[in-house]
Structure formats: C-alpha cells, structure tokens
A and B are shown apart, each in its own frame.
Chain A
C-alpha cells in the first residue's frame, strides 16, 4: 500500500522533512511506500529544497538496503518514491509572472476587471507568484485551481490503486496551504477528467491542518503579517467546516497547533525561507503515521453510505515549554521513543567516534577504508547530521521538543535520554560499550551486501543498547 502525501506550501515541506526523519529512524509505518508530492510555487524556497535534498539522500541510502522478511532493521524501512522531478508538482505560469498577468487582467472586459478588483487588492494583483502566495489564500485559490491539468497529476491518478491512500499536509494560516487543501480535496473527490476516477474519487483520504504555531517579525514592507494568522485560521476553519467536515468529504482530519509561538524572521519566500524545525511539524508527521496505520472509516464511500469523518487533535500530557518523552501521551511516546533513541545513538557513533577500525565487527565484515569513505557512508552521515540538526532546531523553539541531551561528550554517551538514567554497571562504558554490542551482534548482520550488513548491525546493536541502558522496548 502506498500513501501519496501532498505537502502544500512551506509547512508541507517542513512536515515532509519530519516524516523523512521519522522514517529514517524506523518509526513503524504500515505503508510500503510514501510518495511525497510537494505543491509550492516557491520552487527556490529554502524549506522545499532542503526537504527534497533530504528525501533524495534517503532514497540513495535505502536503495542499498534489503528488507526481506528475515531482516530486522527498521532504519529507512519505508520506501520514499520520487514520482516527479524534485518531488514537486509543477504549477504552470507561476514563474516570472505577476498575479494580474496570470489572470490576464489587461485582457478582461471592464466589468470583469472591476469585479476582479473587488476580490483582489492592488497588492495582490502586483504580487510576484514565483515565491508563493505570501499569505493570501484568495490568490492561491485561483492559481492552484489547475491540478488536474498537469501531466504529473494525471500520472499520479494513473498509478493509483485501490489499496493506496492520500494524505494532505497544509497550514491554515498562510496562503498556499490554506487555499491548496480544499482545492486539492475537491479535485480528488470530484474530478472525472483523470485516470481511475472511481479509485481516486473514493480513495481513503486524510489530512492534517496545521493551525498557527509560529509568528513572524513585524515588517511594513512584507505581505506577511502574523497578526492575521488567527483570524485567517478562523475563517478558513469555518469554511472547512462547511465545505469539508459537514459533507464528510474527507475520511480522517487531524488538527494541530500551538499558542506558544516562536518568532521567525519575516521572509516572504525564496531560499531564505528556511524555518527551524518545530515540534508541531513532528506531530504532523506522526499524524501521517497514524493515518497510514488506520482503517478507512468509509469503505463504501462509492455508495455514499454511512459517511463520517474521523477528527483527531493532538495534546501533550502536561503543558510544559520543554517537552521530553515524559510529556507525550502513551501512544506518541511508544511510537517515537525507541526509534528516535536508536537512530540518535547510531548518529552519535558515526558522527563523533573514530577509533573503531580495528574492532572485530569491522574486520569480520571486511569494512575497509573504501567502504567508510564511500558514497553510502557519506550519505548516511549527511542524513544523520541533518537528523541531529533537526533535533537541535526543535530544542531551540519557544516550545522546545528536547527529549535528548545533545552534547558531544564521549564520557557521557548514554547520558542521552532526558529523565532516564542509564542502567547497569559494565566494564565497557560509552563508545566501548557500543563497540562491545556491535562485536557481539551476529546473525543476519553478517549476510548480504556490506551496506545491508552495516545498517542491520547498527539496528540490532542499538536496539539492545536502548533496552539494556534505558529499559526501552
């Protein structure tokens, strides 16, 4: 089963980044593959580029791994498919084009012109669409009303099977996401001009609507004003209630937001719009995992029988500004704690430790300098470094997600999970203990290609370590 994930706007890309991190760390996802499709006119946007690069590296690493039934490794288990270049659904006529040119305002009749000016301000009409809709959903709702015309969207519909699902990620307080989500949903539910219309129209569709969770600095020159975020969210919610929830157009709808908000620099778009990762994005990624694992509440949608929408919100156990695993509810804690801790240990080992090349686990498997200096380990280290950076970004937020002690102290390797004291006395400590577990690990970690052996070995060793040191199973 594949889950097609439409990430709309900057928030969509940032949540896809979190999804990639969770899948890299091995969070259980019932989907065989995730197919990210980024919808963002801001092609040069920092968030889009960073996420696309990360997903490409994920694919490079995963292509070297084997996930046959005997293998236990869960790192990079779920496939991320690239069905369109750079994971982006191209939007026509948005490059080097102002909104009034896009609508051909000069070619309109006098009456239409007047009506258009009633709906759009001069600032809207003058806006350059190359960097998105700058918080204007009224602009987005016009420009994005073109999904079914694109070849890539037709290809998506053509590849869609009865088991596949669709998940849509968007924010409600901006421009691109707020306008793109209802348009995309409408296209998916009603379009007849695509391949497999029955399958697509009646597909299991879920979405996460991200409510305001950050704000931007006040800037008179900018079109983006965070003072409008809440009012925009309210009016969009009211629209979603009428157009989506009440007629059960969607099967699963998730909401997440936060009233403790970090203030970011005010960039309208482009390469500079590269916000730090946020806990809300991680939770949005977790909503996708929950959706992928869920049953369709409307299996007979085609017959219009007993339709309902499952709504879910996210909450933490205690209202803390520093969130660790203890502040998460039992389900979220179980989903995240083990894989994230394992992958963190893996990243720490490869990133901070070098004195391992004479160890039995290296010599037994003939891991030589060519292997350690090769493309696979380079890509793996880059993804892991990005993972640690992603954790550090979340730890810097006003509402920080900081479950780990992100230090590089080789004498405190297992002083890692906040609120959990490492258990048990052993003669080997820190990275020596890590090597000890790697040396002890055999079985499937000695079979297959070197890359496969390497990742399987680290999965099994870190699984044993998190159980022994932190009692996490």
Chain B
C-alpha cells in the first residue's frame, strides 16, 4: 500500500530525503487513505444526504472541495511534520523540513482536488438536486 501511494505522490514531485523518510516510515499510507476517503465520504454526503436545492450551485460545490482540500492539506502537513520531527527529535533533519512538508501537502491537495472532481462526476447523476452541480 505504501508503494501504491508513494507512486502517486512521487509522480508529481520527489523531495530528496523527505520522500525517503515518508516512504520508510509508512507515512504515505494514512495520508493517502485520508486523501481518498475524505472526498469520497464528504461528497457522497453532499450529493445524497444533504442533496439540497439550497446548496446546488457550482460555488457551493467549489467551496466544499476547497474545504476538503484544506482538511487534507492539514492532515498531510500535520502527520508528516509531527512524525518526522518525533523521529529526529528536532526540525534540523538535513533538509528543509517545513518547506518539504508544505510542498508535499500541496501535492496531496492536487490529488484531493482531482479525486473530488472525478468522484463528483461519477456520482452526481444519481442526485435529485445536485445532478447538474458543478455543471
């Protein structure tokens, strides 16, 4: 599973040292699961449980995706920074830790946005109120 998510993340950017530590400590797996599951769960709730005319404009969907991305940014940054800091006991790890964590978190956001979009396109047709959201 670690290989699976590592391929995703490192496809877009490889951070020397940081990426190896993420892979070596199996940190890609929890972040990867969150990246996939959070958009799937929240968007499914949006399309089928909330399923409201009140929230079926494109900007409502965009706002939700931005929130999902922000959550996944926070999760990616929090898990990566805390675990690597804890392993070394310091932020001085031989590479710019904060910058690497931020870069990685943005990659996580990109994948989150892509998954959100694809999942929305798959499930929107069954929604009464949001089948034309975002378009």
Contact = CB atoms under 8 A, between A and B. Distances in A.
Interface of A: 358-360, 363-364, 427-429, 432-433, 435-436, 439-440
A433 B57 contact: no
Interface in B104-135: 128-132
B16 interface: no
B71 to A, nearest CB: 23
A436 B132 contact: no
Contact of B128 (A358, A432, A436): A436
Contacts of A360: 56, 128-132
Contacts of B88: none
Contact of A358 (B50, B52, B131, B132): B132
Contacts, number: 37
Contact of B54 (A358, A363, A427): A427
Contact of B52 (A363, A364, A428): A428
Contacts of A440: 128-129
Interface string B45-59: 000001011101100
Given A358-B132, A360-B129, A363-B132, A436 B57 contact: no
Interface residues of B, number: 11
Interface of B is mostly: loop
Interface of B: 50, 52-54, 56-57, 128-132
A363 B53 CA distance: 14
Interface of A is mostly: helix
Nearest to B128: A440
Given A360-B129, A427-B50, 14 more contacts: A360-B132, A364-B131, A427-B52, A427-B54, A428-B52, A428-B54, A428-B129, A432-B53, A432-B54, A435-B53, A436-B52, A436-B129, A439-B53, A439-B131
A346 B67 CA distance: 38
B47 to A, nearest CB: 12
Contacts of A364: 131-132
B127 to A, nearest CB: 9
Contacts of B128: 360, 436, 439-440
Nearest to B131: A360
A436 B56 CA distance: 10
